[in-house]
């Protein structure tokens, strides 16, 4: 069984959004075209409450794109984004959601961010995605979405740690690339055994 896992294809990560990723909207037609060739399609949605601890605005005097020591380790502080129920948190209108078997929402705990679709940034709290995929007999994942160097990379590495065969299709991903994070994440994914394809 093969699953397509589409990471955070949301308005706030597309041009005009609160945490816009260059070209984020360009990947939607390609992802739509891929869906029918998979046994399962899973979409993830970054889904933060107002005042989430990953927002710079929640920490006095802190600027977005700096780091902050949380009790679970270092965390990048972001502009407010993907607030539950907002237009920014909605799936991009060009994405066809009809074939989605499941939607996993993450980052809902006010105190803990969740880049990965499998485990929150405390690295222990599961989202339930592993249970869903294993119960459906799925061992082979293809990951696409936003952003390559944060939520896609953390999901791909966690998927390897949970025993999946993992493919990443770069042409259906776009990166934030903060302080060289794209190259770092590509190396970490390769080291973890993620199969990275350009096209």
Name the active-site residue from 138, 151, 158, 173. Answer: 151
Q: Distances in Å between the alpha carbon of 109 and those of 96, 113, 126, 189?
A: 28, 7, 12, 26
Strand partners, 55: 78
The least CB distance from residue 12 to ligand VGL, in Å, is: 9
Residue 8 annotated in active site: yes
Task: Provide, rounded to whole angstroms, the least separation between the CB of residue 91 and Zn ion.
Answer: 15
Please provide residue 125's backbone torsions phi and psi, each rounded to the nearest 5 degrees.
Answer: -85, 120
Pick 136 or 178: Cβ nearer ligand VGL: 178
- Minimum Å gap between C-beta 89 and ligand VGL is 11
Window 19-78: residues binding ligand VGL (CB under 6 A): 46, 78
Active-site option among 12, 14, 46, 106 = 106
For residues 54 and 48, is the Cβ–Cβ distance under 8 A?
Answer: yes
Which 3 state secondary structure label does DSSP give 46? Answer: strand
Q: According to CB under 6 A, which one of 4, 6, 8, 28 is a site residue for ligand VGL? A: 8
* Residue 9 binding result from ligand VGL, Zn ion, none, given CB thresholds of 5 to 8 Å by partner type: none
Distances (CA, A) of 96 to 8, 27, 194: 13, 12, 26
Asked whether 27 and 144 are in contact (CB, 8 A), the reply is: yes
Strand-pair category, 102-106 with 40-46: parallel
Q: Point out which span in 25-33, 34-42, 94-102, 143-151 binds ligand VGL (CB under 6 A).
A: 143-151
Site for ligand VGL in 146-185 (CB under 6 A): 146-147, 150-151
Closest distance of CB 147 from Zn ion, Å: 10
**Whole-angstrom Cα Rg for the chain:** 16
Q: 151 an active-site residue?
A: yes
Cβ-based nearer residue to Zn ion, 38 or 91: 91
Question: Any idea what the Cα angle at residue 92 is, between residues 31 and 76, rounded to 5°?
Answer: 95
- Catalytically active residues are 8, 106, 151
Contact residues toward ligand VGL (CB under 6 A) are 8, 13, 46, 78, 115, 146-147, 150-151
């Amino acid at each position: 069984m093969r699953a397509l896992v589409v990471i955070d294809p949301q308005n706030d990560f597309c041009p005009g959004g609160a945490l816009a990723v260059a070209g984020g909207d360009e990947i939607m037609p390609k992802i739509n075209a891929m869906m029918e060739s998979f046994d399962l399609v899973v979409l993830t949605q970054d889904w933060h409450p107002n005042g989430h601890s990953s927002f710079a605005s929640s920490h006095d005097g802190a600027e977005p794109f700096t780091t902050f020591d949380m009790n679970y380790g270092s965390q990048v502080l972001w502009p407010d984004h993907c607030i539950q129920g907002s237009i920014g948190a909605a799936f991009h209108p060009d994405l066809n959601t009809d074939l989605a078997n499941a939607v996993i929402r993450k980052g809902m705990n006010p105190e803990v961010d969740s880049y990965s679709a499998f485990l929150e940034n405390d690295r222990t709290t599961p989202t339930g995605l592993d249970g869903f995929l294993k119960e459906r007999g799925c061992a082979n994942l293809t990951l696409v979405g936003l952003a390559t160097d944060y939520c896609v990379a953390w999901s791909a590495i966690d998927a390897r740690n949970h025993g999946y065969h993992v493919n990443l299709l770069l042409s259906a991903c776009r990166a934030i690339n903060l302080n060289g994070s794209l190259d770092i994440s590509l190396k970490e994914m390769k080291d973890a055994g993620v199969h990275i394809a350009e096209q």
